[in-house]
Amino acid sequence: MRIDLSGLHSGKRECNLFFAILVFIVILAVWGNGVGQKRLAETVHEKNLFAMDTYFSLRAYGPNAEAGLTLCEDRVRELEKLLSVTAEGSDVWRIDQEQAASVAEDTFRLIGEALRIGEQTDGALDITLYPVLRAWGFTTGDYRIPEKQELAELLTAVDYRAVALEGGSHSVTVPEGVQIDLGAVAKGYTGDVLIDILRQQGVTSAILDLGGNVQTLGTKPDGTPWRVAVRNPFDRSQVAGVLEVNDMCVITSGGYERYFTGEDGQIYWHILDPVNGMPARNGLVSVTVVGEQGVRCDALSTALFVMGKDRAVAFWKQQGDFDMILITEDGELILTEGLRDCFESGADWAEQVVYID
For residues 211-250, which are near ligand ADP according to CB under 6 A?
212
Smallest gap from Cβ 56 to Mg ion, in A, equals: 15
Distance CA 33, CA 36 (A): 5
Residue nearest to ligand ADP (CB): 183
Distance CA 337, CA 147 (A): 42
In eight-state DSSP terms, residue 321 is: S
Q: Does residue 183 belong to the site contacting ligand ADP (CB under 6 A)?
A: yes
Options 29-37, 91-99, 122-130, 237-245: segment touching ligand ADP (CB under 6 A): 122-130
Among 72, 117, 129, 208, binds ligand ADP (CB under 6 A): 129
Q: Does residue 181 belong to the site contacting ligand ADP (CB under 6 A)?
A: yes
Smallest gap from Cβ 304 to Mg ion, in A, equals: 10
Residue 167 backbone phi and psi in degrees, to 5:
-60, -45
Q: Does residue 192 belong to the site contacting Mg ion (CB under 5 A)?
A: no
Residue 18 or 55: the one with the smaller Cβ distance to ligand ADP is: 55
Strand duo 213-218 + 249-254: pairing: antiparallel
Nearest to residue 248, comparing CAs of 226, 222, 232?
226
How many residues in the chain?
Answer: 357
Indicate which of ligand ADP, Mg ion, none lies near residue 270 (CB less than 5 to 8 Å, by partner kind): ligand ADP
Nearest to residue 52, comparing CAs of 232, 205, 189?
189
Contact 267, 144 (CB under 8 A): no
Q: Does residue 270 belong to the site contacting ligand ADP (CB under 6 A)?
A: yes
**Packing angle, helices 65-83 and 105-120, rounded to 10:** 70
Kindly list the residues in this chain that would bind ligand ADP in the complex (CB under 6 A).
Answer: 125-127, 129, 133, 138, 181, 183-184, 212, 253, 257-258, 270-272, 274, 298, 301-302, 306
